[in-house]
Amino acid sequence: MSSGPSAEPFSMAADLAYNVILVPDDGAFSVIVPALPEAHTWGETPEHALQMAREVIQLCVEVRREDGEEVPPSDAAQPQIATVRIPAA
């Protein structure tokens, strides 16, 4: 018999990983999660926004599982958006 925190009705071979987009928004950062359109959050700094993104993604995945809905596969291996700045002429 198994006991402890790992005793769950399912097991995952690997962690899920999702791309997020941080959008500067009036001194803060809004978060977009393309794979989970219901995920809405923000943070005061990029680091805070990523922390909040992690929490909202986990909540969205838990709710989808509880409701018997599909959980999107990881999309972190897909192209990512980044901003590159160069000096103005």
The percent helix, strand, coil of the chain (3-state, each to 5) is: 25, 15, 60
Q: Give the CA angle between residues 57, 12, 37 to the nearest 5°.
A: 25
User: What pLDDT sits at residue 81?
Assistant: 73
1 in a structural domain: no
Say how many domains are in the chain: 1
User: What pLDDT sits at residue 19?
Assistant: 93
Cα separation, 89 vs 86, whole angstroms: 9
47 in a structural domain: yes
81 in a structural domain: no
User: What pLDDT sits at residue 8?
Assistant: 41
14 in a structural domain: no
Domain that holds residue 56: 21-66
Residues of the chain with pLDDT under 50: 1-11
84 in a structural domain: no
54 in a structural domain: yes
- The pTM is what? 0.73
